[in-house]
């Protein structure tokens, strides 16, 4: 049994995760006895590990790639948010060894934007979401809940975008990949949820010429901190929000579940994360 309240992040691989230094920083600065560990868990072992963790004294865990969807079939109590998104990223182990699961990615995404732009109302006319993979589900859910008037989804394989639009319903629409640049003309929030422009020198494949200069641009990728999209948007003067803050803000609700206190996202923790990239 763990001597201190202990949480963890489970992934495969896991060495890239910045969650351990962030949560341990909060534990230390808030004077809370506890630990947060990285655990590399193969997909085939996930069920056995989740069953064992409560018995070992873990209070909860985060899940990252590739476990967010698979874990839904292994837990007893799933939040309505997680059901709507179709994936879980935060688990709480109860005293009766049942598991509560939720998804904090949508909250993390919105709080990251609001940290930099408290009033999002001027950006709510049209969001253009690039990508239709697992990460896009939480983003689309967040935009829908926040009241965006139109949410356009562009994906290289349109059928995947169509499936998401059908799942989430109004106000989601899809467009052909070739129509992406033209759609930027009416866009007030541009979000990349794909791996496009992810490498240090990877260019962003779409011209931003049609994008209004006051449109907000964000990328949920945080390594590198300045992706190809953010570099291109920043160079033309658009306001930008990097992805590292989403990691910080999505971690807040889980920390509160496990350790009973709510941490604050501030420049110190963001600087810590940026320095760890």
Q: What pLDDT, on the 0 to 100 scale, is given for residue 266?
A: 96
pLDDT digits (tens, 9 = 90+) for 228-277: 999 999 999 999 999 999 999 999 999 999 999 999 999 999 999 999 99
The strand pair at 99-102 and 77-78 is best described as parallel
Question: Which are the contacts of 98, defined by CB distance < 8 A and separation ≥ 6?
Answer: 76, 77
pLDDT of residue 122: 96
Query: Residue 251's closest CA among 217, 231, 222, 230?
Result: 222
68 is catalytic: yes
Q: For the whole model, what pTM was predicted?
A: 0.95
pLDDT tens digits for range 86-117: 999 999 999 888 899 999 999 999 999 999 99
CATH number of 6-103: 3.40.50.10860
Q: Which pLDDT belongs to residue 1? A: 65
Strands 58-63 and 90-93 turn out to be antiparallel
The DSSP string of 77-103 is EE-HHHHHHT---EEEE-TTS-EEEE-
Per-residue pLDDT in tens (0 to 9) along the chain, 277 residues: 677 999 999 999 999 899 999 999 999 999 999 999 999 999 999 999 999 999 899 999 999 999 999 999 999 899 999 999 999 999 999 988 889 999 999 999 999 999 999 999 999 999 999 999 888 999 999 999 999 999 999 999 999 999 999 999 999 999 999 999 999 999 999 999 998 877 778 889 999 999 999 999 999 999 999 999 999 999 999 999 999 999 999 999 999 999 999 999 999 999 999 999 9
Rounded-to-integer distance, Cα 92 and Cα 7, Å:
9
CATH for 106-244 (1.10.8.620, 2.160.20.10, 3.30.930.10, 3.40.50.720): 3.40.50.720
The catalytic residue among 68, 83, 114, 231 is 68
Query: Taking all residues of the chain, what is their mean pLDDT, rounded to a whole number?
Result: 95
Q: Which residues pair with 130 in a beta bridge?
A: 154, 192
Domain parsing of the chain, residue ranges: 6-103, 106-244
Is 150 within 8 Å of 126 (Cβ atoms)?
Answer: yes
Q: Do domains 6-103 and 106-244 have the same CATH topology?
A: yes
Q: Is the dihedral of CA 87, 103, 112, 251 positive or negative?
A: negative
User: Could you tell me how many residues make up the chain?
Assistant: 277
Taking a C-beta distance cutoff of 8 angstroms, is the pair 88, 124 a contact? no
């Amino acid at each position: 049994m763990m001597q201190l309240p202990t949480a963890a992040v489970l992934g495969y691989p896991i060495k890239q995760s910045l969650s351990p230094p962030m949560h341990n920083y909060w534990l230390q600065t808030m004077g809370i006895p506890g630990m947060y560990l990285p655990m590399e868990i193969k997909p085939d072992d996930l069920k056995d590990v989740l069953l064992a963790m409560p018995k070992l004294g873990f209070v909860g865990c985060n899940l990252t790639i590739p476990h967010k969807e698979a874990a839904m079939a292994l837990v007893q109590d799933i939040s309505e948010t997680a059901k709507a998104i179709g994936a879980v990223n935060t688990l709480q182990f109860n005293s009766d060894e049942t598991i509560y699961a939720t998804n904090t990615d949508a909250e993390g995404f919105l709080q990251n934007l609001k940290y930099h732009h408290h009033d999002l109302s001027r950006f709510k006319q049209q969001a253009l979401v690039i990508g239709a993979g697992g990460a896009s589900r939480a983003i689309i859910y967040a935009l829908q809940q926040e009241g965006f008037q139109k949410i356009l989804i562009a994906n290289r394989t349109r059928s995947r975008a169509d499936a998401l639009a059908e799942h989430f319903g109004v106000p989601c629409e899809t467009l052909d990949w070739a129509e992406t640049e033209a759609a930027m003309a009416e866009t007030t929030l541009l979000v990349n949820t794909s791996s496009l422009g992810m490498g240090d020198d990877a260019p962003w494949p779409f011209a931003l010429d049609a994008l209004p200069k006051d449109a907000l641009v964000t990328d949920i990728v945080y390594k590198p901190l300045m992706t190809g999209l953010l570099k291109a948007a920043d160079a033309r003067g658009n306001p930008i929000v990097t992805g590292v803050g989403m990691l910080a803000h999505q971690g807040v609700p889980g920390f509160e579940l496990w350790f009973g206190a709510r941490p604050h996202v501030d420049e110190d923790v963001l600087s810590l994360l940026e320095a760890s990239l």
